């Protein structure tokens, strides 16, 4: 039997990147998937890929995940069609797109946007889904980042603060809701080849060259999708609760060195 046969899964931010591959992965393993994003063309393509992977009855919800109405739609449309929710993957995230301001030059409005997207929306959507997850004895997997780990992140401080907050949310939700039978865990990716850097106006080829990843390559969306599936499968990871699973080819182990000066160390 497929790993997720009959499971009802919501993946936010699945029009592109990691989320799209995760939705495809779940569908290929027998799940009934709700996909979500903002870009209509990307959503159409994601729907096609999920369908080709074997996904039937794909639900598509479009809109900004920070909006209450979009969050309600995700829950209500999924329940209306399938009558339950087994797995919630809080994957939508990122920064202010094509933002001309960098680091601490970013405004308070930029901070609010980044916190709203990566932290507040995860809390509010998880709370909306929670009664249904308690009923199904389900799973939440948050998609965080190594940016939120215990290092300074002066180039993307607000994003790192949001992801660090998300990690604490994962721990606290995890220890609280396991008592009602719901597991909450997190995948923390390192650099992954998606549309995220393009949305920042950054040349991802250049960034990849400078990335210093011990494993020797940048991550693929499938590397992260497999880790999300592992945490969403209680048979595979039954004793992981409030856990942060770092999936980064070892790069966070090099971060202290990198933050000092990559050029200086490249010469050694
Ligand atoms: P992409 O930009 O490729 O995909 C992000 C997805 O989230 C898209 O489907 C996008 O929708 C959606 N999204 C973004 N903002 C909003 C919003 N305000 N409302 C609704 N949907 C939104 O990025 P990734 O796949 O790389 O990112 C997925 C997750 O992985 C994020 O949480 C990110 O922080 C995290 N991550 C990524 C890393 C990387 O190197 N790629 C590293 C570490 C963490 P649309 O495109 O339709 O607008």
Tens of pLDDT, residue by residue over 179-227, are 999 999 999 999 999 988 888 877 767 667 667 899 999 999 999 999 9
Spatial strand order in the sheet of 8-11: 59-62, 32-37, 8-11, 87-90, 139-143, 183-189, 244-247
Does residue 32 register a pLDDT over 60? yes
Q: For ligand 1, is residue 231 a contact (CB within 6 Å)?
A: no
- Rounded CA-CA distance 134/86 in Å is 9
Q: Is the ipTM of this complex over 0.95?
A: yes
Does residue 124 register a pLDDT over 50? yes
Residue 93 C-alpha to ligand 1 middle, in angstroms?
4
- Rounded CA-CA distance 224/102 in Å is 27
Torsion angle defined by CA atoms of residues 146, 151, 153 and 157, in that order, rounded to the nearest 10 degrees? 90
Active-site residue (options: 113, 158, 159, 177) = 159
- Helix, strand or coil, per DSSP, at residue 210: coil
- Rounded CA-CA distance 105/157 in Å is 10
Residue 95 C-alpha to ligand 1 middle, in angstroms?
9
From 33, 25, 231, select the one nearest 140 (Cα to Cα).
231
| pLDDT at residue 258, as a whole number | 52
Read off the pLDDT band of 257 (50, 70, 90).
low
- Rounded CA-CA distance 83/264 in Å is 57
Q: For ligand 1, is residue 17 a contact (CB within 6 Å)?
A: yes
User: Can you count the helices (H) and strands (E) in the chain?
Assistant: 10, 7
Beta-carbon contacts of 109 under 8 Å, excluding residues fewer than 6 positions away, are: none
From 196, 211, 255, mutation site for ligand 1 pocket: most ligand atoms within 8 A of C-beta: 196
| pLDDT at residue 267, as a whole number | 40
Read off the pLDDT band of 259 (50, 70, 90).
low
| pLDDT at residue 206, as a whole number | 62
Please confirm, yes or no, whether 159 is among the known catalytic residues: yes
Residue 197 C-alpha to ligand 1 middle, in angstroms?
10
The whole-model pTM stands at: 0.95
Backbone angles phi, psi at 58, to 5 degrees: -70, 125
- Ligand 1 atom closest to the Cα of residue 193 is 41
Q: For ligand 1, is residue 194 a contact (CB within 6 Å)?
A: yes
Backbone angles phi, psi at 219, to 5 degrees: -70, 155
Q: For ligand 1, is residue 252 a contact (CB within 6 Å)?
A: no
Q: For ligand 1, is residue 249 a contact (CB within 6 Å)?
A: no
CA-derived radius of gyration, the chain: 18
Instruction: For the chain, give the percent of residues with pLDDT over 90.
Output: 86
- Helix 17-28, helix 40-52: angle, nearest 10: 30
Does residue 264 register a pLDDT over 50? no
- Rounded CA-CA distance 119/9 in Å is 20
Cα 39–chain centre separation: 17
- Helix, strand or coil, per DSSP, at residue 56: coil
Residue 265 C-alpha to ligand 1 middle, in angstroms?
31
Contact 74, 34 (CB under 8 A): yes
- Ligand 1 atom closest to the Cα of residue 42 is 47
């Amino acid at each position: 039997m497929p790993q997720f046969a009959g499971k009802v899964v919501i993946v936010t931010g699945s029009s592109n990147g990691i989320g799209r591959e995760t939705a495809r992965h779940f569908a290929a393993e027998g799940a009934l998937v709700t996909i979500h994003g903002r870009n209509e063309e990307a959503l159409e393509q994601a729907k096609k890929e999920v369908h080709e992977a074997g996904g039937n009855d794909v639900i598509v919800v479009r809109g900004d995940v920070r909006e209450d109405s979009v969050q309600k739609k995700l829950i209500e449309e999924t329940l209306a069609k399938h009558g339950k929710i087994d797995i919630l993957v809080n994957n939508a995230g990122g920064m202010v797109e094509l933002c001309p301001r960098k680091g601490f030059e970013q405004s308070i409005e930029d901070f609010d946007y980044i916190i709203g997207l990566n932290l507040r929306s995860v809390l509010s959507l998880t709370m909306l889904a929670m009664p249904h997850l308690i009923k199904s004895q389900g799973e939440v997997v948050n998609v965080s980042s190594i940016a939120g780990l215990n290092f300074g992140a002066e180039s993307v401080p607000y994003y790192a603060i949001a992801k660090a907050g998300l990690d604490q949310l994962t721990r606290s939700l995890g220890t609280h809701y396991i008592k009602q039978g719901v597991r909450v865990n997190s995948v923390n990716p390192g650099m992954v080849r998606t549309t995220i850097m393009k949305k920042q106006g950054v040349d991802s080829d250049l960034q990849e060259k400078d990335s210093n990843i011990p494993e020797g390559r940048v991550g693929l969306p499938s590397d992260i999708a497999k880790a999300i599936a592992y945490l969403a499968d209680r048979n595979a990871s039954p004793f992981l609760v409030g856990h942060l699973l770092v999936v980064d080819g070892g790069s966070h182990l090099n971060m202290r060195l990198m933050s000092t000066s990559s050029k200086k160390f490249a010469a050694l």
